[in-house]
Amino acid sequence: MQENLLQPRDDSRGKQMHPDDNGAVSRVLFAPLLICAALLLLSPAAAFSQAKNTCIACHSQLDDPLHVNPDEYAAGIHAQKGITCVSCHGGDPTADDMDKAMSKAAGFKGKPERKAIPAFCAKCHADSAYMRGFDPSLRTDQLAQYLTSVHGKMLAKGDDKVAVCVDCHGVHDIMPPNDPRAHVYPTNVATTCSRCHADAAYMKPYKIPTDQFALYNSSVHHAALIDRGDLSAPTCTTCHGSHGAAPPGVKSVVNVCSTCHVFQAQLFDSSPHKEAFDSLGFPGCITCHSNHGIQHPTDAMIGTGDGAVCLKCHSAGDPGFEAAGAMHDQLVNLDSTIARSDAILNRAELYGMEVAQPKLQLADARDDLMKARVAIHSVQTAQVDVDVQASMKVAQQTYQAGLAALAERSYRRKGLFVSLGISLLVLIGIAFLIRKLETPSHE
Amino acid sequence: MGTASNLRNWLDERFGWDQIVTFVRHKTVPQHRFSYFYFLGGMTLFLFGIQVVTGILLLLYYRPSPDGAFESVQYIMTQVRFGWLIRSIHAWGANVMILTAIAHMFSVFFLKSYRKPRELTWLSGMILLFLVLGFGFSGYLLPWNTLSVSATKVGTDITGQVPLMGHWLLIFLRGGEDVTGATLTRFFGIHVAILPGLATMLIGLHLWLVQRFGMSVPPKIDAEWTANPAKVHEVRFFPNFFLRELMAWYVALAILGTLAAFKPWELGAKADLFASAPAGIRPEWYFMFMFQTLKLLPSKFLAIPGDVLGILAFGLAAAVWTLLPFFDQGKQGRGSRWVAGAGVFALMYVVGMTVYAYLAK
Amino acid sequence: MQKSNSNDPSKPERRGFLETFLGISVVASLISFLYPVLRYVIPPKQAELGSDLVLAGHVGDLKPNTGKIFPFGSRPALLILTSDGNYHALSAVCTHLGCTVQYRSDLREVWCACHNGTYDVDGRNISGPPPRPLESFGVMLKGDEIYVQRQRNA
């Protein structure tokens, strides 16, 4: 692989790939020979590699597109494993003289063409025997997958605007995917993809939408991944694949979603919708929930009212319409019953009654409501009813508990008033007794 | 009847019953425009009795360990019949008792009842006041909710600022460096054994001294009466004064019951020793004036930390206040007016600081 | 203490009435104070076991290779009887997003319906989103009663 070379990037995309170089001093230098020689004495090159590395010594001082951030390079996985500039670009890293360092004689290859990059990286990364020496669990099928992807296929046809390895992984700042600094770390993936896919001008020739990133950012999955830090939440590559990136086919969308949303998928598959959707060529899940901008579902989504997705296909009179309305009513009734219990328990609590136990029971009722909301994917009211009834029972029990708490409060007050009444009588009695004892006719 | 007089004889032969009855019959209470303040001492005693009774009842169910304290109080509040009543009366009663104790102390101060020969009555009373504050502080931790643990942390932190002894005192109170289950065990022992033992002895002494010297008449009234003996007015303690006191006690009990029914003491959330302190912790109202003062003091004054200065100042003030009878012999004149003036300042300071502390929140 | 007023015939009646009235009301007030105290000292039927120990069920409630949800303090917990005759007790609150998990007899694993997380019968998270194991509790048998106790950490 010492034969492969990478020339400094000269296209504008290169600028966007490099992270901010806060550390490096940006100086405009047009006498590289002189400066390199002088800076060699101060170069940080010695710090990270036993061997002298004049490549970094010069290129860390140069501007884009020739700039290489030495700290990022040093922290990157390749440098960490001893794979340095020479491994990819060739040349002589010990030569102070620029022409000598980047001479053909020294094996300098420069920057590879974009079209050649996948094969270039695969020279190592597809070589199982070689990669085993670094980490036996690393996959080595990335190139094979890439060739099946939309990016790979179009690259093969000659389009080099599509993503190649370095567009996603970076060039000199490649980190392992499980490192939070990596461009392909789950929380960074969407941003990485958006560099092309959200750029309307760049994507113009391809005639596909460029709103996916914006939609995804408004979605529950984004909220889970970025806001809550839940790394199990999906990002672009979860559904589209990474190396073999392609949009899932209509038939396979359900399979993709069902990797996490098992229950919903099972219910859908056994529901009348499956056959209907298949025959109409509709993809499951996203027909109602959309694909990128998935919002938290609400009870309004099901039924026959405003915002109900059922109305896309169903109209008044057909059994689906009836079922939709029925299920909506089931959910809404249950929700309001739970809310009623919640209200009375809160009121009791405000009055100082201890209702911690019923409040926690109500959490069970809410769990069942959630299960009911999953059950609607069967589009059978009987199935939804199973969870609704369970929840109603608990909600009603807690409502009774709330009533009991309020009754107890009344009882306490009544008891207090009785006691106060008796005390008042005692006070009156004592007052009269005092008066009697102290009026002058008695001693 | 024969049995009544037989019983009386039996008691007299063993307890000197007749002597006691005669004493009570002859005990009088001076009647003047300040007489209403005489109720405060008895009221404090009555409330102490309520605390003892409700406290013993709570002891039947309370468990003094971090695993059980909160749950046992929750059990009392929710499962035990009238548990809510006993617990709320105990919690409210504590606050009302501290209020009457402080009022009793200030009324004795302004009526100058601490003068010779009643110096030891004042002294024992001041120590009782400190014990009562100790009851309040130790009892507050026992429900083991977030508020109590935080307040205890802050309170013992301040104790740790006392010069020389501070750190040792902190370790002694907390049963270690931090507030933990060990602190709870300790505070429980202090609250149900040590303080009650000390308080009982001191109350006994205090009451005996009060009976021995009788009720003190304020100097102004005393002067009026000396000048005009016809104005002297005394009522019999039993039944006249006692009946009135009984009315006051019924009213106090009615107030406690109403508070318990309308504003039950909250349970809060179980303390989590690993959670960070909630914002805005503050001690109970009777410590607020000290808390607010410490907050207002500069962090350093002439190389002495502000907190230490505050604690020393309060310590000094408490010492002077306790030893008051030895400063003010009660002679009329300028010295006496200075003391009264200082008392007014102290009262206004305490009230003002407390009000300010709450408004500033 | 009181002189008899034989010259005032109406007074003895009133005196008697006042004393009786006062006596009755004082006794009534004392009863109203003592009644709560007496009810208080009688222990409630549900003896408190403490938050760390709960009666989860009885032997025979569960068939081998099944599980059931029971309340443990304020949260749901899962009691499993595996086919080797051992009881396992775990917190039933999924460590992913808090859904209530269940025991799957077919998988012989604990499963969360919300996002397909699985745990083994000791609570270790095996697959899916759950980031942490389920808290496991100690199980003690007393006669035919099954008690579940929170493990005390050192």
Asked if B258 lies within 8 A of A420 by C-beta distance, the reply is yes
Asked if A352 lies within 8 A of B78 by C-beta distance, the reply is no
Asked if A416 lies within 8 A of B250 by C-beta distance, the reply is no
Per the model's pLDDT, the better-predicted residue between A440 and B210 turns out to be: B210
- B168 to chain A, closest Cα gap in Å: 40
Same-domain status, C122 and C73? yes
Instruction: Classify residue C7: in a domain, yes or no.
Output: yes
Same-domain status, C30 and C66? no
Same-domain status, C74 and C117? yes
Asked if A354 lies within 8 A of B250 by C-beta distance, the reply is no
In the predicted model, residues of chain A with pLDDT beneath 70 are: 1-51, 441-443
Domain holding B168, by residue range, is: 28-269
Please state the domain count of chain B: 1
Same-domain status, C113 and C135? yes
C46: left (phi over 0), alpha (psi -120 to 50) or beta: beta
Tokens of B130: 């400190």
Average of pLDDT values for C57-61? 89
Same-domain status, C36 and C64? no
Contact of A431 with chain B, judged by CB distance below 8 Å, is answered with yes
Domain holding A432, by residue range, is: 258-443
Same-domain status, C73 and C38? no
Q: Is the CA virtual torsion B101, B104, B108, B114 positive or negative?
A: negative
Tokens of A399: 């409502």
Asked if A415 lies within 8 A of B251 by C-beta distance, the reply is no
Contact of A415 with chain B, judged by CB distance below 8 Å, is answered with yes
Domain holding C139, by residue range, is: 53-149
Instruction: Classify residue C154: in a domain, yes or no.
Output: no
Same-domain status, C68 and C129? yes
The pLDDT score that the predictor gives to residue A247 is 86
User: Which residue stretches of A200-261 are H helix?
Assistant: 200-203, 212-217, 220-222, 236-240, 253-258
Contact of A443 with chain C, judged by CB distance below 8 Å, is answered with yes
The pLDDT score that the predictor gives to residue B323 is 92
* The three-state (H, E, C) secondary structure of chain B, written as one string: CHHHHHHHHHHHHHHCHHHHHHHHHHCEEECCCCHHHHHHHHHHHHHHHHHHHHHHHHHCCCCCCCCCHHHHHHHHHHCCCCHHHHHHHHHHHHHHHHHHHHHHHHHHHHCCCCCCCCHHHHHHHHHHHHHHHHHHHHHHHCCCEHHHHHHHHHHHHHHCCCCCCHHHHHHHHHCCCCCCHHHHHHHHHHHHHHHHHHHHHHHHHHHHHHHHHCCCCCHHHHHHHHHCHHHCCEEEHHHHHHHHHHHHHHHHHHHHHHHHHHCCCCCCCECCCCCCCCCCCCCCHHHHHHHHHHHHCCCEECCEEHHHHHHHHHHHHHHHHHCHHHHCCCCCCHHHHHHHHHHHHHHHHHHHHHHHHHHHC
Average of pLDDT values for C11-33? 84
Q: Which of B31, B86, B247 to mutate to test the interface with A (most CBs of A within 10 A)?
A: B247
Q: Rounded mean pLDDT of chain B?
A: 90
ipTM (interface predicted TM): 0.83
What percent of chain C shows pLDDT beyond 90? 45
Same-domain status, C116 and C59? yes
Q: Which of B46, B71, B73 to mutate to test the interface with C (most CBs of C within 10 A)?
A: B71
Average of pLDDT values for B59-68? 92
The residue type at A298:
T
Question: DSSP per residue over A270-295, as a string?
Answer: TSHHHHHHHHHTPPTTHHHH-SSSPP
The pLDDT score that the predictor gives to residue A353 is 81
CATH number of the domain to which C98 belongs: 2.102.10.10
Residue B30: alpha-carbon gap to chain centroid: 25
Residues of C in contact with A435 (CB under 8 A): none
How many contacts (CB atoms, under 8 Å) link B and C? 41
* pLDDT tens for each residue of A217-230: 999 999 989 988 88
d(CA B257, CA B273): 34
**Whats the size of chain C, residue-wise?**
154
Instruction: Classify residue B232: in a domain, yes or no.
Output: yes
- B275 to chain A, closest Cα gap in Å: 20
pTM for this prediction: 0.69
Task: Chain B: list its partners (3+ Cβ pairs within 8 Å).
Answer: A, C
The pLDDT score that the predictor gives to residue A18 is 41
CATH number of the domain to which B100 belongs: 1.20.810.10
List, in sequence order, every residue forming a beta bridge with C125; answer none if it has no partner.
Answer: C119
Average of pLDDT values for B2-6? 84
Please state the domain count of chain C: 2
d(CA A292, CA A256): 13
* pLDDT tens for each residue of C62-95: 999 999 988 887 678 999 999 999 999 999 988 8
Instruction: Classify residue C47: in a domain, yes or no.
Output: no
The pLDDT score that the predictor gives to residue A46 is 46
Instruction: Classify residue B112: in a domain, yes or no.
Output: yes
What percent of chain B shows pLDDT beyond 90? 53
According to DSSP, the β-strands at C75-81 and C66-72 are antiparallel
Question: By mean pLDDT, which of A33-37, A332-336, B10-14, B99-103 is the weakest?
Answer: A33-37
Coil vs helix vs strand at C56: strand
Contact of C37 with chain B, judged by CB distance below 8 Å, is answered with yes
**Local structure of residue C109 (DSSP, 8 states):** E
Residue (of A257, A259, A187, A184) closest to A225 by Cα position: A187
Please state the domain count of chain A: 1
Same-domain status, C30 and C64? no
* pLDDT tens for each residue of B111-144: 989 988 999 999 999 999 999 999 999 999 999 9
Asked if B82 lies within 8 A of C41 by C-beta distance, the reply is no
Question: DSSP per residue over A98-156, as a string?
Answer: HHHHT-TTTT---PPPGGGHHHHHHHHHT-HHHHHTT-TTS---HHHHHHHSHHHHHHH
d(CA A67, CA A199): 25
Same-domain status, C141 and C110? yes
Instruction: Classify residue C126: in a domain, yes or no.
Output: yes
The pLDDT score that the predictor gives to residue B250 is 96
* pLDDT tens for each residue of B224-276: 888 888 888 888 898 889 999 999 999 999 999 999 988 889 888 888 887 77
Same-domain status, C66 and C29? no
The pLDDT score that the predictor gives to residue B241 is 92
Please name the member of B246, B261, B267 whose beta carbon is closest to the beta carbon of A413.
B261
Average of pLDDT values for C111-131? 88
List, in sequence order, every residue forming a beta bridge with C66; answer none if it has no partner.
Answer: C81
Instruction: Classify residue A174: in a domain, yes or no.
Output: no
Residues of B in contact with C39 (CB under 8 A): 81-82
Q: What share of chain A is helix, strand, coil (3-state, %, to 5)?
A: 60, 0, 40
Contact of C47 with chain B, judged by CB distance below 8 Å, is answered with no
Residues of B in contact with A426 (CB under 8 A): 250
Whether A153 contacts A129, CB under 8 Å: no
Instruction: Classify residue C48: in a domain, yes or no.
Output: no
Same-domain status, C37 and C69? no
How many contacts (CB atoms, under 8 Å) link A and B? 51
Asked if B85 lies within 8 A of C52 by C-beta distance, the reply is no
Q: Which of B67, B249, B253 to mutate to test the interface with C (most CBs of C within 10 A)?
A: B67
Please name the member of A412, A431, A437 whose beta carbon is closest to the beta carbon of B261.
A412
- Residue C151 buriedness (CB in 10 A; 0-12 / 13-18 / 19+): exposed
Residues of B in contact with C46 (CB under 8 A): 79
Q: Is the CA virtual torsion A144, A148, A151, A153 positive or negative?
A: positive
Tokens of B269: 């959330």
Question: DSSP per residue over A379-401, as a string?
Answer: --HHHHHHHHHHHHHHHHHHHHH
